[in-house]
Amino acid sequence: MIAIVNYGAGNLYSISKALEGLGAKVKVTDSPEVVKSADSIVLPGVGAFNEAIKNLTRLRLVPAIKKSIESGKPFFGICLGMQLLFTESEEGGSTPLTIKGLNIIKGKVRRFKNVKKIPHMGWNQVRCRKEVPIGKRLPNPSWMYFAHSFYPEPRETEVIAATTDYGMKFASIIWKNNVFGTQFHPEKSGMDGLLILKNFIKIDQKG
């Protein structure tokens, strides 16, 4: 069973229906116990970083998420859900203050600067830098759907599995052990996006 974490800031309907349509058994939940008992976890996201962290903390989901990741369960963060995995974010903080994240992936989430338009919204190319389990049989480059004003800047560049160019290159797929993340929305990205979700479903606890 895939637990889709409901913390009040997720695109829950689209991602749950996409996974169910691919044959997965899913449960949308805000229960730490359900998250800990699930076979794998999806952390979706539409909203603000600061509010999301507050909600995860209030619902006592942070320890459950970290314990699940430490146990080796496949974990997938989508858009804001991926950004929450990082050490800190500029979103919601007043310079030079930042908001602390889950610190699963070392690095910072930064706001776009000197680009044509914010937010970055619509279709853009994703270019894989290395083979990644959720990217099996994915065209390179592929086209995915984005909707964000902030981007991840990993401290460890080896976690960057794919990049996208929007006036600057940023990490659009990250991968570290059993943790995966996409800055784009695979559930809104047509057949290529569904292929990513299908690949995630097939990943067992050994990766």
Q: Return the active site residues.
A: 79, 185, 187
Buried b / exposed e along 93-126 (16+ C-beta atoms within 10 A): eeeeebbebbebbebbbbebeeeeeeebeeebeb
131: helix, strand or coil: coil
**179-182 and 75-78 as β-strands: parallel, antiparallel, unpaired?**
parallel
Residue type, 26: V
**Rounded Cα distance, 42 and 54, in Å:** 18
Question: What is the rounded CA–CA span in Å between residue 155 and residue 88?
Answer: 11
Amino acid at 55: N
Q: Cis omega before residue 141 (within 30°)?
A: yes
**Strand, helix or coil for residue 117:** coil
Whether residue 152 has a cis bond before it, omega within 30° of 0: no
